[in-house]
Amino acid sequence: MINRFCQTLFLLLFTTAVANAQQFGGNPPSIKWKQVNTPATKVIFPEGMDSAAMRVANIIQYINPQIKRSIGFKQKQVSIVLQNQTTISNAYVGLAPFRSEFYLTPSQNSFEIGSLYWPGQLAIHEFRHVQQYNNFNVGLSHALRVVFGEGGQALGNDLSIPNWFFEGDAVYNETLVSQQGRGRLPYFYNGFRALWAAGKDYSWMKLRNGSYVDYIPDHYPLGYMMVAYGREKFGNDFWGKVTHDAAAYNTGVYPFQNAIKKHSGQKYKAFRGAAFKYFKKQFGNDQIIDDNPRRHFVAHEEYPNYINDSTLIYLRTTYNHIPEFVLRSKGKERAIAVQDINTDNYFTYHDGKVVYAAYRPDLRWGYRNYNELVVLDINTGKERRITRKTKYFSPAFSHNGKTIVAVDVEASGKSALHLIDALNGKSLTTVPNPDNLFYTYPKFFEDDKIVSAVRNGKGQMALASIDIKTGTVKYFTPFSFEPIGFIAVGKGRIMFSKTTGAYDKLFVLSLKTGKVFLKDTSEENMSAVIGSYQPAVTDSKVAWVGLTPYGYNILEGTWSENDLNETPLREAEPLSDLGISKLEQDTAANLLSSIPNTPLPITKYSKAHGLFNFHSIFPNLNDPNYSLELAGENVLNTFQSRLSFNYNRDEGYKRIGYTAIYGALFPYISAGANYTFDRKGFSKGNSVYFNETDLHAGLEVPLNFTGGKTSTFLSAGSDVYYSQRRFQEAFRSQFADGHYTYLNNYISFSNEIQQAKQQINPRLAQSISLNYKTAIAGLSATQFLGTGSFYFPGLGVTHSLVISGAYQQKGANNSIGFSNDFPFSKGYTAESLDKMQKFGASYHFPIAYPDAGFANLAYLLRVRGYLFYDHTHATDSSFLLNGKPFKADFRSAGAALFFDGKLFNQGSVSFGIRYSYLLDDDLFGGNGKNRIELVLPVSIF
């Protein structure tokens, strides 16, 4: 059992190391691809995205020689694919295969990511990951690459270099070469500032691994603080030396920690403590009064909107409940409705209606998705989706509620303001955009004017009014790199959030004077939260959101003309380097502002280029089967293939095979072949050996019906299999060779509502799978298998009741022994019988949230368990038991204990121990009623 666990753990780590965010076959075949080639990158892009591709290539070509000295000089060209069909703001660089993808739709929230030209920001961040991988191919990591390919290096790198360094170093690079970058944005540090201000002294392992009960920031700000401190104190080449030794495993056990000690002279714990102390000093004025230090995370309260002076509507998200709209009035709260699946929680309110943008993927193409407007009536709880296949962001009602303004982001990257009929979703007009601005958080402030936070081509921001008819822009604030957003309109005033120095504060524009002032919140316990965002106003009241260690909280206060601080906007502080002087002293500082637009040749990119691209060898140790797979995948991720060798210890047979799947058309097309030699059978008590040839091909249609509050998937397909059996020479006189052909038809369906962080399973979900195999030539055989699982709420909000069933029926006198995938009762030795039917029930519940670990090796986040009962009834007319056709029940009951945690402070792992008590005899296996098994769970669908 221990050996099996170690084998599976190795495989888990190996596959986790090479996982990334790509979508297989995610783009329609109508897209024509082009490329820009430079020594460092091959930028692959859809036709029409020439300017973005050229800019990305120029940025990387210009900054590469300036920044490589701090990490290493190794260089291998990377392919970067620009994806412009999605509403997601993201990107990644991955090994196995080595490539990068940029998702080109910018985020509305400039405080979180920044406001730089989005493809440019992705280039300066993601290319740092390229440099990391190029230079971490050393020592033992390189040896793993030689043996296992790119996946081997990914495993070696993940086990030697923490994820906080990968992202912290990339954030440092974006901060170094630009005038902004997340290292200068206060929002980026809010999580740690809230913990420090309240005196929360969580352990390093808790900060690294997170928690199911407490708010923990992610590894990005943690990584930046560690990297920035290291470069500030020990020089710009410090991390290059540390990571080289760590990736090479030159420093033995705990390679990264020991490399830090070697090159800094400080133990790892002391280094971490010094880095935190360095940044704590930068935020020494932060203070949160914590009246209950034992309290855990409560909720995120976001986007308050006033219904009247005494009533707010806002969005609440807890660890045990999915996001829902809540009414708060005079200290009492009432939930209105659950929010649809979305990529941004932003919403606005007017006269009993809420509007927000909900996410919907394309039915087939994974890289194409939409933001569609949803209107919720808070009095009835009913919703209407008023637009279809749109890419809308940050919608807001007009003063009379009849029109909605929303930001439209085209596939080209251009931004526009659309006016939409609030009743039927019809687009009324597109506001001209002569200055080619990018709009965020627009609001009506006059019948013919919209106020919006805007970004120019450099990434600088301003608050501006836009004339609806002409698109004429009036700027209320000068352009700068300090983010602006979250606009609220009151009578004669506009309130918004803006960065000033190391803080995000509220500012007020007086429409009467045209001046902008800092909002004075000193009497409203501003120190109770970190940051000031998402203001809402009435004539005399203001609400806003700030972060505490227990979530984003809503604060309320009053306001009037007398509340305007005497500090005008022009005296607000610029972005702060937070004491990291190396950001200004490095020769690569602010390179982004001087990058030329050098014309580069653009050529056609062939979809057939590098189709096989074998990149990694994956071992699979699953006794009695031991296999190696040579994996291939092209850059566009439309063709995947596997060349494999498998050894079965029980029979002693060897199998070589090749499988491939092409996903660029509406159906997936798959094909493959296997040759197995030294298969062993039995005849009259003697072993018989033969060889098998298997050929197969098929079609599959994967469909995504996700929308509203549920994720829904449907997949259907059919494969044709041809199998030929040839007996080895010594047995050819006794047995005739044979062959047969059969169809494998299948359909699977899954549907689940959103799942909160603490919920073990979705509170409502369904999973159904049907499979029918039938011989069509050579022999006669059929087999039908249907399985289903249905998830229901339990007694507690994080509990789950699962009811499952299965039915399998094989044809009489089957000549083919089809594979047996029937989910037999737990604890029993399974056997494939003519007719089997099963009922199962299990009840899942959390037991504890330990938040405990040891030696930076393993961390336990949650202990959970379940109780179960299984009942399988089976019959088989060809199998006689006591002289009668076989009929028996296989019932079991028991419990399981599962442990959810992380290994090496970053790799998620779950495993369990299951006890089964057999209520009937195990007719096909061992003796005894008690069975204990090690369980390595997989996803529910």
Please state the domain extents for the chain: 2-289+579-597, 300-571, 737-941
Q: What share of the chain is helix, strand, coil (3-state, %, to 5)?
A: 20, 45, 35
Contact between residue 899 and residue 212 where contact means Cβ atoms under 8 Å apart: no
**pLDDT value at residue 866:** 97
Reading across the β-sheet that carries 551-558, which strands appear in turn? 530-537, 541-548, 551-558
CATH topology of domain 2-289+579-597: Neutral Protease; domain 2 (1.10.390)
Question: Residues 6 or more apart from 108 whose CB is under 8 A from it?
Answer: 344, 346, 393, 394, 407, 440, 441, 485
Mean pLDDT, the chain cut into blocks of 10 residues (941 residues total): 43 49 88 97 97 98 96 97 96 96 97 97 98 98 97 96 98 98 98 95 97 98 98 97 98 95 97 97 86 88 96 98 96 95 97 98 97 97 96 97 97 94 97 97 95 97 97 95 96 93 93 85 65 94 95 90 69 88 95 94 96 94 86 97 92 93 97 92 73 96 97 98 88 82 97 97 98 93 96 97 97 78 93 93 98 96 98 87 86 97 92 96 89 71 29
Q: How many CA atoms lie within 13 A of 346 on its CB side?
A: 26
How far is residue 724's CA from residue 737's CA, in Å, rounded to a whole number? Answer: 8
How far is residue 756's CA from residue 320's CA, in Å, rounded to a whole number? Answer: 5
Coil, helix or strand at residue 639: strand
Contact between residue 592 and residue 120 where contact means Cβ atoms under 8 Å apart: yes
Neighbours of 90 (CB within 10 A): 16
**CB neighbour class for 756 (10 Å; exposed up to 12, middle 13-18, buried from 19):** middle
Q: Which residues pair with 522 in a beta bridge?
A: none
Q: How many CA atoms lie within 13 A of 731 on its CB side?
A: 19
495-500-504-510 Cα dihedral, nearest 10 degrees: -10
Question: Residues 6 or more apart from 79 whose CB is under 8 A from it?
Answer: 41, 42, 44, 98, 99, 100, 635
One-letter amino acid for residue 310 of the chain? S
How far is residue 935's CA from residue 319's CA, in Å, rounded to a whole number? Answer: 26
Contact between residue 183 and residue 580 where contact means Cβ atoms under 8 Å apart: yes
Contact between residue 483 and residue 111 where contact means Cβ atoms under 8 Å apart: yes
Contact between residue 807 and residue 822 where contact means Cβ atoms under 8 Å apart: no
Contact between residue 46 and residue 84 where contact means Cβ atoms under 8 Å apart: yes
Closest CA to 170 of 63, 284, 320: 63
**pLDDT value at residue 325:** 98
At the fourth CATH level, which superfamily is domain 300-571?
Answer: TolB, C-terminal domain (2.120.10.30)
Contact between residue 373 and residue 385 where contact means Cβ atoms under 8 Å apart: yes
How far is residue 194's CA from residue 215's CA, in Å, rounded to a whole number? Answer: 10
Question: Residues 6 or more apart from 672 whose CB is under 8 A from it?
Answer: 657, 658, 659, 660, 695, 696, 697
Q: Count Cβ neighbours within 10 Å for each residue of 498-527 and write b for 16 or more, e otherwise.
A: bbbebbbbbbbbebeeeebbbbbbeebebe
Structure tokens of 194? 């809230």
Q: Which H or E element spans position 273? A: helix 268-282
How far is residue 792's CA from residue 780's CA, in Å, rounded to a whole number? Answer: 41
How far is residue 521's CA from residue 877's CA, in Å, rounded to a whole number? Answer: 82
How far is residue 301's CA from residue 310's CA, in Å, rounded to a whole number? Answer: 17
Question: Residues 6 or more apart from 400 whose CB is under 8 A from it?
Answer: none
300-305-306-311 Cα dihedral, nearest 10 degrees: -30
How far is residue 755's CA from residue 763's CA, in Å, rounded to a whole number? Answer: 7
**pLDDT value at residue 1:** 41
**pLDDT value at residue 85:** 95
Coil, helix or strand at residue 554: strand
Coil, helix or strand at residue 873: strand
How far is residue 790's CA from residue 772's CA, in Å, rounded to a whole number? Answer: 22
What's the angle, vertex CA 294, arms to CA 293 and CA 296, rounded to 5? 105
How far is residue 182's CA from residue 122's CA, in Å, rounded to a whole number? Answer: 12
Phi and psi angles of residue 552, each rounded to the nearest 5 degrees, phi first: -70, 125
Closest CA to 51 of 62, 36, 33: 36
Structure tokens of 639? 């063709």
Structure tokens of 837? 């039917």
Whats the size of the chain, residue-wise?
941
Per DSSP, which regions of 811-906 are E strands? 835-848, 852-854, 858-881, 884-903
Contact between residue 234 and residue 182 where contact means Cβ atoms under 8 Å apart: no
Contact between residue 533 and residue 547 where contact means Cβ atoms under 8 Å apart: no
**pLDDT value at residue 728:** 83
How far is residue 917's CA from residue 624's CA, in Å, rounded to a whole number? Answer: 26
Helices (H), 107-203: 110-113, 118-135, 139-148, 150-160, 163-177, 186-197
Instruction: Tell me the pTM.
Output: 0.95
Phi and psi angles of residue 205, each rounded to the nearest 5 degrees, phi first: -65, -35
- Provide DSSP, 327-395: EEETTEEEEEEEPPS-S---EEEETTEEEEEEEEE-SS-TT-EEEEEEEEETTT--EEE--SS-BEEEE
Neighbours of 382 (CB within 10 A): 10
Question: Residues 6 or more apart from 162 whose CB is under 8 A from it?
Answer: 208, 219, 223, 256, 904, 905, 906
One-letter amino acid for residue 546 of the chain? G
Sign of CA dihedral 288, 292, 293, 298: negative
Residue owning tokens 């790509």: 22
**pLDDT value at residue 2:** 38
Structure tokens of 336? 């209105």
Q: How many CA atoms lie within 13 A of 706 on its CB side?
A: 22
How far is residue 243's CA from residue 255's CA, in Å, rounded to a whole number? Answer: 9
The maximal CA–CA distance of the chain, rounded, in angstroms, is: 105
Coil, helix or strand at residue 648: strand
